[in-house]
Structure 1
Amino acid sequence: MRPTSLLAALSAAGVASASPPRWNPLVLRQNSTDDVNPFAGKTHFVNPAYAAKLEQTHAAFTAKGDSANALRVRKVQQVGTFVWVSRISDLPNIDAAVEAARAAQTKTGQRQIVGLVLYNLPDRDCSAGESAGELKSAEDGLRRYKEEYIAPYAARVAAAKDLDFAIVLEPDSLANLVTNMEIPGCAAAAPIYREGIAHAISALQFDHVHLYLDAAHGGWLGWDPNMPAAAKVFSEVVAIASKNGTQKARIRGFATNVSNYNPFNAVVRENYTEFSKSWDESNYCTSLSAYLKEEGLPARFIVDQGRVQMPGARKEWGEWCNVEAGFGPVPGTSNNNTVVDSLVWIKPGGESDGRCGFPNSPAAGQWHDEYVQMLVKNAHSSIDSVKL
């Protein structure tokens, strides 16, 4: 996702990949505590709906006689990805994920952790508009968000206590409150964002649900002036959530790089990162963690590596739309950073960022098979080790 005020910011300037142990449903799960990594010993949920979309990609490589990349598609189809719930009409996506995860858990005996994205704030995407949502605050959007979206969302995950959930809350939203308040739409949306996200946090306080607030990425909030300001905004929203509920609201941590292209460990440090401590996502997590701790927040992260930029593919951090990339490291790969719970694939590679960037890109969210073919060709080497 995009840092709309990047120029202003510049001027201001894990888990092992081995198979987890079998889950015994007769043994009570350990209580969700701050020192337990929710991804440890669990299998990242593989979304059959996303795997089905990749059949088009497999067919394209097969038609070209490219058996090597056709095989790689089959391996990508076995990789865990997050399920996006971006509209009220998407709520059945949770039902489908729960059913599929239960089937996988029964078949393998391995505890599943289902990744979900909660993304439907009123006045969503206030700074850019490529991913503007269905709800508007001027049209009773906040009430609808709470009653028609959050309430059934929470009911669905609450009923699936036999699974674990990692839920990313509202990508881009709070970052806009840090850097984009000069944009009238964002200034007007600020109180709606705070109240809406706080309500979502308080509604999702279940032991088997692990909440990660979106913290943008190193190219957006990773600059020295932005990190303490971001931590303060996060703290204020969690405090509102605590006032809403009967007990102190808990979040597990923060999600970074959602739908963006920053590598976790950069092989090459790009020139545009010269004056930043957060020149890759591992450094961003480490840099931000100190400010989070000062605000009394958990300094723990998941990092989206679904689409990792190719070195030199961008000339500036502000390029955010359908950038040249490859599928990143397989989720759960050891990350060598103690504040990071897991590398994950949050953005399903192949779903367009918008009508921009890569040639002939369709509207945001639509399938772009030429782009996903590129992701396959440029995929991280860990993809080749995935077992079929």
Structure 2
Amino acid sequence: MPSRKTRPARLLVGVLVAAAVASSVVLGGGAATAADRSPAGRLDEAISASPGSVSVRGWAVDPDLRGAVTVRVVVDGTKRASVTANASRPDVGRARPADGPMHGVVATVTGVAAGTRSVCLVAANVGPGSDRQLGCRSVTVAKPVATAAPKPAPTPSPTPSRSPVSPNPLAAGQSRPSWSAAVEAQSAARAAGRTGVAAELDAIAGQPSAIWLGDWMDDATLVRQLGADVATARRQGRVPVFVLYAIPQRDCGLHSAGGFTDPRYRQWSSLVATTLKGTGAVVVVEPDALALLGDCPGQGDRTGLLKHAVDALADAGVAAYLDAGTSQWVDPTVMAKRLKAAGVDRARGFSTNVSNYRTTAEERAYAEKVRAALGGKARYVIDTSRNGRGWQGDWCNPSGVALGTTPRAVSDGTGLDALLWIKRPGESDGTCNGGPSAGTFSEALALGLIRGR
């Protein structure tokens, strides 16, 4: 069994945001009076997370409608989209128990002209009353980055050659995240005068790592996180790598248990895809999901959900790698069939060794077998964050392990696109072998990885 995944350490932010929103719901915000049968609701947030786009979040209910309200997204006085207010908003459900929680508004509009734009939400009325403006925000939209016109293709050589492969989306290298627990720990050590430890921690704090996304953040926090890391990557001239980790019955109820319901997962993964459109980001899709397929009840249509996520990302032009477990877990031919059913043909390829310890040589041999079983076209990435000394007999916070090769793009004639740090080194696998809860940074675990090299 492989190592389990991690949650960002700043999850409390999402809780505080939700509490603040719940408070605003109680106070009103576009609320209808007893005599007014118009819709009630609020525009909570409007931001531009990527050039040429605007993302909104809010809620809406209509006292004369048992179902979901239709809400218009209006930019500079012109309707740009109509959406159904049926996203999960537990805070609204708590504040308005008669209405229930499924009245959230989440939408992203693309093709918005650069400049400062007025973005409003308007709820369509049903029955007595009238349409209600739920709020407006001023949003600054960046101009989409122009792409150079392709050069004419050279005259084909009569010498046989391999089929052309699209450019490596990770060629510029993986970016460092906008925030990491390792950087915080390094700063704390330095402030406490522990300069030697602070210097050691730079082996992790100074390196790129992935950004994990899951059910611990609400939609507004999600969009904000995506925008922050895309902007950080642009400043570095590198590529942000995100990880989707919210599949129903995640981790089969073990240390990283959780996940969304089937409908919520579809909405959530679509939001990620539309928000990342045009950003050049890369996404690793659901570590362990296919390796654990059928291993526990409650997984629902797992293959269908993964295919939906891959399709949404492909439609948005986002390069995705569907996770394929590790070399010592599922037979390569079996994994290839699972990947095929989950839509890998529309993805860039697949990932291996996420949060695990198998050597790069083992993973490359496995990945090439999976790739061959898929027809030889799929590309792959390997997580090398903790595989410097290979497998040490345990998957959960084992001793005797070490940091692996630092992140880098690869171009060597094989199917390998990059070696990445997908797992954030130093963050616990769970409450095992003396470690804290999954996703919590441990200085002892981090130093063990550093000193084990």
Q: Could you tell me whether the CA contact under 8 Å between 2:287 and 2:325 is conserved in 1?
A: yes
Tell me if 1:322 matches 2:397: yes
Tell me if 1:331 matches 2:407: yes
Name the CA shift for 1:195/1:208 in 2 (closer, same or farther; >3 Å).
closer
Secondary structure of the equivalent of 2:428?
coil
Mapped partners of 2:413, 2:381: distance in 1: 11
Mapped partners of 2:377, 2:149: distance in 1: 22
Mapped partners of 1:254, 1:85: distance in 2: 18
In structure 1, which of residues 243, 259, 281 is the aligned counterpart of residue 355 of structure 2? 259
* Unaligned residue ranges in structure 1 (runs of 5+): 5-23, 136-140, 240-248, 266-279, 380-388
Aligned-residue offset at 1:260: 0.5
Mapped partners of 2:257, 2:149: distance in 1: 39
Match runs of 1:49-198 below 5 Å: 49-50=179-180, 52-57=181-186, 59-60=188-189, 67=196, 70-87=198-215, 89=217, 91=219, 92-93=221-222, 95-105=224-234, 107=235, 110=237, 112-126=238-252, 129-135=254-260, 141-147=261-267, 149-158=268-277, 161=278, 163-177=279-293, 181=294, 183=295, 185-186=296-297, 188-189=298-299, 191-198=300-307
Aligned-residue offset at 1:219: 1.3
Match runs of 1:1-388 below 5 Å: 2=2, 25-28=145-148, 34-40=165-171, 42-50=172-180, 52-57=181-186, 59-60=188-189, 67=196, 70-87=198-215, 89=217, 91=219, 92-93=221-222, 95-105=224-234, 107=235, 110=237, 112-126=238-252, 129-135=254-260, 141-147=261-267, 149-158=268-277, 161=278, 163-177=279-293, 181=294, 183=295, 185-186=296-297, 188-189=298-299, 191-206=300-315, 208-221=317-330, 226-238=331-343, 250-265=346-361, 280-293=362-375, 298-310=377-389, 314-315=392-393, 319-324=394-399, 325-332=401-408, 334=410, 336=412, 338-357=414-433, 360-379=434-453
Percent identical pairs in the alignment equals 28
Mapped partners of 1:334, 1:195: distance in 2: 31
Secondary structure of the equivalent of 1:255?
strand
Q: Could you tell me whether the CA contact under 8 Å between 2:182 and 2:204 is conserved in 1?
A: no
Mapped partners of 1:29, 1:323: distance in 2: 51
Name the CA shift for 1:310/1:60 in 2 (closer, same or farther; >3 Å).
farther
Give the number of the structure whose residues are more often helix, by fraction.
1
Mapped partners of 1:164, 1:45: distance in 2: 12
Q: Could you tell me whether the CA contact under 8 Å between 1:201 and 1:238 is conserved in 2?
A: yes
Secondary structure of the equivalent of 1:303?
strand
Q: Counterpart of 1:235 in structure 2: which amino acid?
A: K
Aligned-residue offset at 1:3: 8.4
Aligned-residue offset at 1:213: 0.5
Q: Could you tell me whether the CA contact under 8 Å between 2:170 and 2:239 is conserved in 1?
A: yes
Q: Could you tell me whether the CA contact under 8 Å between 2:240 and 2:282 is conserved in 1?
A: yes
Give the number of the structure whose residues are more often strand, by fraction.
2
Q: TM-score, normalised by structure 2?
A: 0.59
CA RMSD of aligned residues (A): 3.0
Name the CA shift for 1:286/1:64 in 2 (closer, same or farther; >3 Å).
farther
Mapped partners of 1:262, 1:308: distance in 2: 6
Deviation by residue 1:249-300 (Cα, 9 ceiling, x = unmatched): 61100000001011213xxxxxxxxxxxxxx11221222221121xxx7331
Q: Counterpart of 1:86 in structure 2: which amino acid?
A: G
Q: Could you tell me whether the CA contact under 8 Å between 2:385 and 2:424 is conserved in 1?
A: yes
Q: Could you tell me whether the CA contact under 8 Å between 1:306 and 1:349 is conserved in 2?
A: yes
Name the CA shift for 1:233/1:333 in 2 (closer, same or farther; >3 Å).
closer
Higher relative contact order (CA 8 A, sep 6+): 1
For these two proteins, the number of residue pairs brought into alignment is 300
Q: Could you tell me whether the CA contact under 8 Å between 2:360 and 2:382 is conserved in 1?
A: yes
The structure number with the bigger radius of gyration is 2
Q: Could you tell me whether the CA contact under 8 Å between 1:306 and 1:327 is conserved in 2?
A: yes
Secondary structure of the equivalent of 2:179?
helix
Name the CA shift for 1:232/1:309 in 2 (closer, same or farther; >3 Å).
same
Q: Could you tell me whether the CA contact under 8 Å between 1:85 and 1:93 is conserved in 2?
A: yes
Name the CA shift for 1:103/1:261 in 2 (closer, same or farther; >3 Å).
closer
